[in-house]
Amino acid sequence: MSGRGIWKLLAIFVVVLLVGFSVLWMREAKDMGTLRSLLRNGAVNNNWLNVKLAREKHQLRKASTIKPTPRKTFYNLADDIDYSREAVPRLSKPGAISDKIELDYFRYLQNLQFDCRHRIRAGTGETGDGGWEVCLDPPYNMKPGKCLVYSFGISTNWSFDDYMDKTRNCTVHCFDPSIGKKDFKRSPNIYFHNLGISGSNETNDKKWQLYTLGSIKRLLGHENVTLDYLKMDVEWSEWPSLQAMYREGVLSQVKQFALEFHGIPKKQADVDIINKLYELGFRIFYTKRNFYNRANSGLTQRTVYMCMEVHLVNINFLKQDVKSGHRQ
The residues binding ligand NAG (CB under 6 A) are: 124-125, 128-130, 144-145, 156-159, 169, 201, 211, 215, 218-219, 223-224
Q: Give the β-pairing of 202-203 and 119-122.
A: unpaired
273 C-beta neighbours (distance < 10 Å), count? 18
Could you tell me the smallest distance in angstroms from the CB atom of residue 159 to ligand NAG? 5
Residue 92 vs 127, nearer CB to ligand NAG = 127
Q: Say whether 307 sits in a helix, a strand or coil.
A: strand
Residue 129 vs 238, nearer CB to ligand NAG = 129
Do 99 and 89 touch, CB atoms closer than 8 A?
yes
Do 206 and 176 touch, CB atoms closer than 8 A?
no
Could you tell me the smallest distance in angstroms from the CB atom of residue 162 to ligand NAG? 8
Residue 90 vs 193, nearer CB to ligand NAG = 193
Residue 58 vs 207, nearer CB to ligand NAG = 207
Residue 47 vs 156, nearer CB to ligand NAG = 156
Distance CA 254, CA 282 (A): 9
Do 197 and 177 touch, CB atoms closer than 8 A?
no
Could you tell me the smallest distance in angstroms from the CB atom of residue 221 to ligand NAG? 7
Residue 57 vs 222, nearer CB to ligand NAG = 222
Could you tell me the smallest distance in angstroms from the CB atom of residue 188 to ligand NAG? 8
Could you tell me the smallest distance in angstroms from the CB atom of residue 328 to ligand NAG? 18
199 C-beta neighbours (distance < 10 Å), count? 17
Residues in contact with 98: Cβ distance below 8 Å, sequence separation at least 6, in sequence order? 264, 266, 299, 300
Peptide bond into 139 cis (omega under 30): yes
Could you tell me the smallest distance in angstroms from the CB atom of residue 320 to ligand NAG? 16
* DSSP secondary structure of 5-54: HHHHHHHHHHHHHHHHHHHHHHHHHHHHHHHHHHHHTT-TT-HHHHHHHH
Could you tell me the smallest distance in angstroms from the CB atom of residue 304 to ligand NAG? 22
Could you tell me the smallest distance in angstroms from the CB atom of residue 186 to ligand NAG? 12
Q: Say whether 185 sits in a helix, a strand or coil.
A: strand
Residue 29 vs 225, nearer CB to ligand NAG = 225
Residue 20 vs 125, nearer CB to ligand NAG = 125
C-alpha R_g of the chain: 25
